A and B are shown apart, each in its own frame.
Chain A
Amino acid sequence: MDTYFLKNEDIFKFYDHINQKYDLFVPLKLKTTLKVKCDYGFDLPSEDYYLKKYSQADKAEIVFNDYRPIEPARTFFTHFKEEICAYFADDKEKSLKERPIAVFGLKNCDLFSLKIQDFVFLGGSEPDPVYKERRENALIIASDCLHFKEACFCRAFDINPHPTEGFDFNLSPLNNGYVVEVASSKAKVIAAALKDIFTPATLGQLSGRSAKRESVIRRLDEHLDAHKIPKKEILKDIVVSGYNSPVWQEQMHTCVECAGCVLMCDTCHCFLLADEALAENARRLRLWDGCLFKNFTKVAGGANPLKMRYMRLRNRYLKKFNFFIDNMGIQACCGCGRCIDVCPGKIDIRYILRRLYEEKYLPAA
């Protein structure tokens, strides 16, 4: 992989160049008065970043996001609500020609999740044409995490807070610029066009990057020690054996059924094909759906295998840690902690997994 150094003052040249061909999304800081304090001694940041379409007007506010943005990566590839095709073959075809997107600010957790999304939407008997087109044309500009949120727990599942695969570019901040890794042929073309601002990275810069990466890992590991999250190898085991655990009902006492956890989830992929009746004709829509919604599995006769809230919570864990491990070999959880941040009921995946582990392996004497 080619490695370059890009100075801070040249980053906008990089953005401008990409923006010519792509719809570029860049990180901005979310202005909110909400502060979440970590209550066991760590002084962790609580600001959030969001990704916005690049515009000269926002120039002063564009930042480097120290950790993952607020929205899941899949928002760029399957939209929350979109027309998926012309209703019938002889209806006017919805134009699939969209401007390709470039996303700056995705982290390694997001790249892990895109593997799950790819498995679902590109795999199987036939790929999803809309997802495929967007995904193949997109430019992923990933970056290292310099910090982490209280809810971050990627390392618990051996996912590092810096990307090593699955991106076109990866940016690692160092001193007065970025170490840029150029992975794909698409990215190489861009790097070649920008050779004035891309200088080959020095060995010193590479070891500087390693030191920074190790420091983040060390601090994150220390933070995660307190949570005692089970190892990824044992997730399937504890979720299956914990089928009748009291933890499901107990944790759902505070659930308000907003389904924020599934909608903010980086790896959740469920959707519903729905019709929208318009005066002239109907439209075929694809909407994000999720198993925390009451009617997710309801059938026409009225039977609903997931009629209780605790069943729906359990279903989510079985899907992530049983179904995906069986079918794909990896758990459908990247440790981004978005479900923890979004939950008004403070339902915490780290705590639930720990409880399932302790109930099986450390039962009270």
Chain B
Amino acid sequence: MKKNIYQPLKATIEEIIQETPTIKTFRLKPEADFSFATGQFIELTLPGIGEAPFTPSSDPKVKDRLELTIMNAGQVTCALHNMNKGEVVGIRGPYGLGYPLDKFKGKDILIVGGGVGLAPLRSLLFSLFSDIDKYNKVIVRYGSRSPSDIVYKDSIPKWIKKDKVDFLVSVDVGDPSWAGNVGLVTTVLNNLPVNLNNAVGIVCGPPIMMKFVTLKLLDLGFKPADIYLSMEKSMSCGLGKCGHCRIGKFYACKDGPVFTYEQLKGLPDNYL
């Protein structure tokens, strides 16, 4: 019999990396190879607890492992944060449309991330880095609440040194050890080294940050069709059936989760 569409695949927690006091990266080993395109999301299932949608933060080229960077925020994530190596979870998917990498070719790619919103963007960065010749340059502006809230602390210094990459981190509130920029991420979006006629902007972060970054990018002259937003919704089924993630005439799970601002701009403030 054909596999039931609601049935998850078993995956074992192989490694847990504490990124910040509230964020952990879980490396999962699925029972069978699992493919996804960058920006697509999966449903993570904890048997007996429930399901929640996440976008993988790992390299889509890797099929036998999957990494999820998750903040302890709700019921499922809280239970997940209390789990240990070797325990079994379920994954379903991948669902939705990811980042249209083809459309980014030969362009200046501006990536603006906020907090744990860097997770799906890390998967995008892996995809871009592995084909870096195809893109003009990659500019990353990452905002975090404080230095201790920065995720991927080990990787960021390596990414900063990469060719064709311009990576800047800003924190809302600094501390004595912090030598970098202090201020909301919107404050590091001025004088960007991008050619606006040949650039795309990709934004992922908390809703309030996405809103103001989008306004800022429009202000800078980005075209609505060149701004890509990852929409956070409470997707349940992932298949365009359960009705939870409606955004105007779209479902975030099947028409998104990555939308262009062009698609969303006519909608009221809360995107409903």
The interface of chain A, by Cβ under 8 A from chain B, is 84-90, 93, 96, 120-121, 124-126, 128-129, 243, 269-278, 281-282, 284, 286, 289, 291, 296-303, 305-306, 311, 315, 318-319, 322-323, 326-327
Contacts and interface: CB of A to CB of B under 8 A. Distances in A.
A141 B158 CA distance: 68
A277 B254 CA distance: 29
A42 B60 CA distance: 66
Nearest to A274: B50
Nearest to A297: B234
A296 B244 contact: yes
User: Chain A's interface: helix, strand, loop or mixed, by majority?
Assistant: loop
B48 A277 contact: yes
B48 A282 contact: yes
Interface residues of B, number: 46
User: Chain B's interface: helix, strand, loop or mixed, by majority?
Assistant: loop
A306 B241 contact: no
B243 A322 contact: no
B243 A270 contact: yes
B244 A275 contact: no
A85 B249 contact: no
B270 A305 contact: yes
A91 to B, nearest CB: 9
Contacts of B272: 297, 305-306, 311, 315, 318
Q: Which of B51, B206, B246 has the most CB of A within 10 A?
A: B246
Nearest to B77: A300
Give the 5 A-B residue pairs with the shortest CB-CB distance, closest first. Answer: A300-B74, A277-B48, A270-B243, A85-B4, A282-B48
A286 B52 CA distance: 15
16 contacts: A88-B7, A89-B9, A124-B239, A243-B268, A270-B243, A270-B244, A272-B244, A289-B244, A296-B244, A297-B244, A299-B234, A300-B76, A301-B74, A301-B206, A318-B272, A327-B249
Contacts of A311: 270, 272
Interface in B8-43: 8-10
Contacts of B249: 322-323, 326-327
Nearest to A243: B268
Interface in B31-90: 45-52, 71, 73-77, 90
Contacts of A296: 234, 244
A269 B6 CA distance: 16
A323 to B, nearest CB: 6
Contact of A272 (B7, B240, B242, B271): B242
Nearest to B270: A305
A84 B239 CA distance: 15
Contact of A275 (B50, B206, B239): B50
A289 B49 contact: no
Contact of A273 (B3, B6, B206): B6
B166 interface: no
B239 A85 contact: no
A84 B74 contact: no
B229 interface: no
Contacts of A322: 248-249
Given A129-B2, A300-B74, A305-B270, 20 more contacts: A84-B4, A84-B6, A88-B8, A124-B241, A125-B239, A125-B254, A129-B5, A272-B244, A274-B51, A277-B49, A281-B47, A286-B6, A289-B243, A289-B244, A297-B272, A301-B71, A301-B232, A311-B272, A323-B246, A326-B249
A303 B237 CA distance: 20
Nearest to B238: A273
A167 B232 CA distance: 41
B207 interface: yes
Q: Which of A90, A291, A297, A302 has the most CB of B within 10 A?
A: A297
Given A275-B49, A299-B234, A86 B7 contact: yes
A298 B233 CA distance: 8
A297 B233 contact: yes
Contact of B48 (A275, A299, A303): A275
B263 interface: no
A20 to B, nearest CB: 27
Contacts of A278: 48
B271 A305 contact: yes
B7 A284 contact: yes
Contacts of B75: 300
Given A299-B232, A305-B270, A128 B241 contact: yes
